[in-house]
Structure 1
Amino acid sequence: MPESKPRKKTASTAEKAAPDAYKPNPVWFKPVMFGLMIIGLFWIITFYISEGRFPVQPWGSWNIVAGFGIAIVGFMMTTRWRS
């Protein structure tokens, strides 16, 4: 009885993706991440100190949402941070 040919071993998709997963972030990543967190914080502080006149007066209390939104984008970037 003839033997069948052995199959060629191929790397799985997890093994192919592994080298890319350990690449460090670009140089701009950390300054942007921390910058967004700080800008969001200053946005909220400015709103409270100016009693709603700044940064955007027509938005009213939505300035708090804008400040938190900016800061949350920065915090979400921390989940992608690699050293």
Structure 2
Amino acid sequence: MPESKRRKQSTYTPPAERGSGIKEPSPRWWAPVMVSLMVLGLIWVVTFYLTAGGYPIPNIHYWNLAIGFGLMLLGFGMTTRWR
């Protein structure tokens, strides 16, 4: 029975480098702003619940929760870019 010819293997060439891959660290103000937004959002929501909806802004009622959670989400979103 005839044997098939062996294929020549090409030499390995590594993929081209796209850059150094090192990203710059975050600015000095990034971490304090990030933590402040999360804490401010938490204080906003706790204040809303402790005052039975009377504060921080009395006339918008449950939108106070949206503001508080929005502040916390901004802070948590900043954690994804922190280096």
Percent identical: 44
Q: Secondary structure at the match of 1:65?
A: helix
Which of these two proteins has the greater Rg computed from alpha carbons?
Answer: 2
Report how far residue 77 of structure 1 moved: 0.3
Query: Given the two structures, how large is their TM-score scaled by the length of structure 1?
Result: 0.75
Matches within 5 A, 1:24-43: 24-43=25-44
Unaligned runs of 5+ in 1: 1-10
Counterparts of 1:28 and 1:55, CA distance in 2: 26
**Length, aligned pairs only:** 68
Runs of 4+ off more than 4 Å: none
The structure where helix makes up a greater share of residues is 1
How many angstroms does 1:15 deviate by? 1.1
What is the TM-score when the length of structure 2 is the normalising length? 0.75
Instruction: For residue 67 of structure 1, give the secondary structure of its aligned residue in structure 2.
Output: helix
1:79, 1:63 → 2: CA distance?
25
Structure 1: how far apart are the matches of 2:19 and 2:25? 18
Query: Which of 19, 22, 27 is matched with 1:15 structurally?
Result: 19
Q: Which residue of 1 aligns with 2:49?
A: 48
Q: CA RMSD in A?
A: 1.5
Q: Which runs of 5+ in 2 are unaligned?
A: 1-15
